[in-house]
A and B are shown apart, each in its own frame.
Chain A
Amino acid sequence: MEFTLLWAALTGVVFAWIGTKIWSEGLPDHPADRMIGAAAGGLLIGRLTEMFLQGINPITNPLDILIVRGGVHTGMASLGAVTAYLWSAKWNLRYLDATAPAALFGLAGWHAGCVWRGACLGTESAHPWAWAQDGSAITRHPVELYAALGFVIAAFVVAKLSSALLVRTGTALALAGLIRLATEPMRPSITGGPVGWYMGAIVVGLVIAAVGARLIEQRIPQPT
């Protein structure tokens, strides 16, 4: 059962790799390797954060770090992944812009990977494309596939944007938050989900795209 998570992650990796082939302009060398490394770094940060929140000490329970199904803090994982990617790209923000469409495409793959996990379904729905769990008569929204479709569209939209510094990065962040926020009401949840993080991503993304880029554009070196 835990292995189904790996299949979903692998689907995300394959989609991200395809994304780097579709939108290759301006990428650093070995972009897929860097993205996988960044995702692993983000996963580690997200898992450690979640363990802290659950009161589990990662030093006394080191194997627990590997049990990602025990919970990964989405917000901190995202921040960790972006930081790890920037570190790997020597803090050149232009690389973030170039990678944004492929990253969104990778997220589409991660969400589409729900098919391997049997975890696509959300709240009840009578739409003709809704389906039911095994042994159930209740049809439900395939909410993770909605999100996957949203991320695919977002990737193509972001790739068409201006190449001005951080415009694509900021817009991608805002769209990622928006897609998750828009689909969240269709996800059954006991804890309510990380809605605050999604809203934060939208605001921060828009600010980065609209203002931050203009302020620091002159100071950032171009990639060679």
Chain B
Amino acid sequence: MMRLRSLFLALAVTLAACGGAAADTGTSARPDLPETSADEFEAHLATIDRPAVVNVWASWCLPCRAEAPLLNTAFDEYGGQIEFIGVDVTDNQADAKDFLDEFGLDFDHFFDRDREVPNFYAGIGTPITFFFGPGGELISTHNGVLDDRTLALNIDELLSLDQ
């Protein structure tokens, strides 16, 4: 029993030591994220002549942390064919910028303090991912955390639209 306890203790210490250190709050050198309203965002999408993946996130959202690496991978692979856009909701600029510093997500992001954008497109909760055709036509919505299959399938649908 003692051995088991020691094992758990060692595991706990290891886990604590291995965790990636989050950026300190408010230390980012990034410029503030541009604020947007639902109307402005819709108008912005209308100007984009290729499909778009719009990810709604927040720095306080744990599932958003989980899906961030997948979004990075998808952006690296499909960023040339598909527009990736982030919408940070019900957040503050300092925490949002720290989140981006921690996870990369090297595409355009907007700041939407009042959740106007996801409400406008009838998204539920956080995170949400909207899939738009060229010109801003909403194709599908995924409420909740993205997984590899869901993102790949919906990107495949968007690319098919584009052909």
Give chain A's interface residues, CB within 8 Å of chain B: 1-2, 51-52, 54-61, 63-64, 67, 69-71, 119, 121-124, 133-136, 138, 140, 187-191, 193
Whether B151 contacts A190 by the Cβ 8 Å rule is: yes
Find A191's partner among B19, B63, B70, B157 (CB 8 Å cutoff).
Answer: B70
Chain B residues positioned under 8 Å from A61 (CB to CB): 62, 65
A175 to B135, CA, bound (A): 47
Q: Which residue of B143, B148, B149 has the most chain A CB atoms within 10 A of its CB atom?
A: B149
Whether B140 contacts A135 by the Cβ 8 Å rule is: yes
Interface size on B, residues (CB 8 A): 36
Give chain B's interface residues, CB within 8 Å of chain A: 12, 15-16, 18-20, 22, 62-63, 65-67, 69-70, 73-74, 77, 124-125, 139-140, 142-145, 147-153, 155-157, 160
Whether A138 contacts B157 by the Cβ 8 Å rule is: yes
Given A64-B62, A67-B62, check contact A1 B149 (CB 8 Å): no
A82 nearest CB across to chain B (Å): 19
B145 nearest CB across to chain A (Å): 4
Given A67-B63, A135-B140, check contact A190 B157 (CB 8 Å): no
Given A71-B66, A133-B140, A190-B148, check contact A56 B77 (CB 8 Å): no
A61 to B156, CA, bound (A): 33
A190 to B65, CA, bound (A): 18
Q: Which residue of B lies closest to A72 (CB)?
A: B147
A55 to B69, CA, bound (A): 9
Whether B150 contacts A119 by the Cβ 8 Å rule is: yes
Chain A residues positioned under 8 Å from B147 (CB to CB): 69, 71
Whether B149 contacts A119 by the Cβ 8 Å rule is: yes
- Could you pull out 26 A-B pairs where Cβ atoms are within 8 angstroms? A1-B142, A1-B144, A2-B145, A54-B66, A55-B20, A55-B69, A56-B66, A57-B16, A58-B15, A59-B19, A61-B62, A63-B62, A64-B63, A67-B66, A69-B66, A70-B66, A70-B67, A70-B145, A119-B150, A133-B153, A138-B160, A187-B152, A188-B149, A190-B148, A190-B155, A191-B70
Given A136-B157, A138-B157, A189-B149, check contact A1 B143 (CB 8 Å): yes
Whether A57 contacts B15 by the Cβ 8 Å rule is: yes
Whether B152 contacts A189 by the Cβ 8 Å rule is: yes
Given A1-B143, A138-B157, check contact A57 B73 (CB 8 Å): no
A87 nearest CB across to chain B (Å): 12
Whether B67 contacts A188 by the Cβ 8 Å rule is: no
Find A57's partner among B19, B66, B140, B145 (CB 8 Å cutoff).
Answer: B19
Q: Which residue of B lies closest to A134 (CB)?
A: B140
Chain A residues positioned under 8 Å from B63 (CB to CB): 64, 67, 69-70
A45 nearest CB across to chain B (Å): 12
Chain A residues positioned under 8 Å from B73 (CB to CB): 190-191
Chain B residues positioned under 8 Å from A119 (CB to CB): 149-150
Whether A59 contacts B156 by the Cβ 8 Å rule is: no
Given A59-B12, A70-B145, A193-B148, check contact A52 B62 (CB 8 Å): no
Chain A residues positioned under 8 Å from B145 (CB to CB): 2, 67, 69-70
Find A188's partner among B15, B66, B70, B152 (CB 8 Å cutoff).
Answer: B152
